[in-house]
Amino acid sequence: MKKIVGLLFALSSVSLLFLSACAPTEEEALNLVEEAAKATFEADTIEPNQEVEGFSVYLPDDFEIVEETESNLLLESGDQMFILFYNALEASTSQLNYQTAEANDNYSLLQSFEDNERFGYVKVAETEEIYELQVGVGGVKITTQTTLETMEDDTIAMMQMATSIAYTDQN
C-alpha cells in the first residue's frame, strides 16, 4: 500500500512539474504576444471571408458572429467572447484607440507597430487572475479575456481579423 501511495505521489508530482513547465511565465507570454502581434501585423493581410453591414472581415474558422450592432461585433470562439469595435471614420493610420489604451496606465504590455498605410498595437492588462488582451489597427479594436496559455494564439487571430477589415461603406 505504501508503494502505491508513493508511486501515486511521485506520478502526480511529475505531472504537476510537467504541466507547470509547459505553461509560460507572464514575462514569456508577454514576449510571445509582442512577437506574434508584430509578425502578424507585418504579414500579408488575409482576405476577408465574412460580409457584415459596412465592412468585410476575416474570421477564423472557429469564430462566429453572436451579435452585430452599429459599430460592434460580438464574436464567439468556443466559450470565449471577443468584442470587435470598428469606427469607419478613423483611418487605418489612426492612433486614437492606442492613445486611449495608453492613457490608462494599467497594462503589462503596450506595444505599437506601423507601416506607411497602418498603425497597430497590442495591449495586455491583468485583471485579477485573467488577462485582458486588446489588439487594434486604425479604427478597429478587438478585446477579449484570455490566459497566459492561450494569449499568443488569441493575439494572432485578433490581429488577423483587425488587419483584414476592408470598409465597404463609409456613409
Instruction: Report pLDDT digits (tens) over 71-97.
Output: 899 999 999 999 999 999 999 999 999
Are the CB atoms for 94 and 119 separated by under 8 Å? yes
pTM for the model stands at 0.84
Given 2.60.40, 3.40.50, 3.40.1000, 1.20.1630, which CATH number is that of 24-167? 3.40.1000
For 91-125, how does the pLDDT look when each residue is reduced to its tens digit (9 = 90+)? Answer: 999 999 999 999 988 899 999 999 999 999 999 99
What is the length of the chain? Answer: 171
Cell of 126: 491583468
- The better pLDDT of the pair 106, 150 is held by 150
d(CA 108, CA 156): 18
Instruction: Please tell me the predicted confidence (pLDDT) of residue 13.
Output: 42
**What is each CA distance from 132 to 30, 39, 124, 147, in whole angstroms?**
12, 20, 6, 9
What is the reported pLDDT for 21? 53
Query: What is the rounded average pLDDT of the residues 164-170?
Result: 73
Give per-residue burial for 59-73: e unless 16+ CB within 10 Å, then b.
Answer: beeebeeeeeeeeeb
The answer to whether residue 171 scores a pLDDT higher than 70 is no
pLDDT at 67: 96
Closest CA to 109 of 163, 36, 23: 36
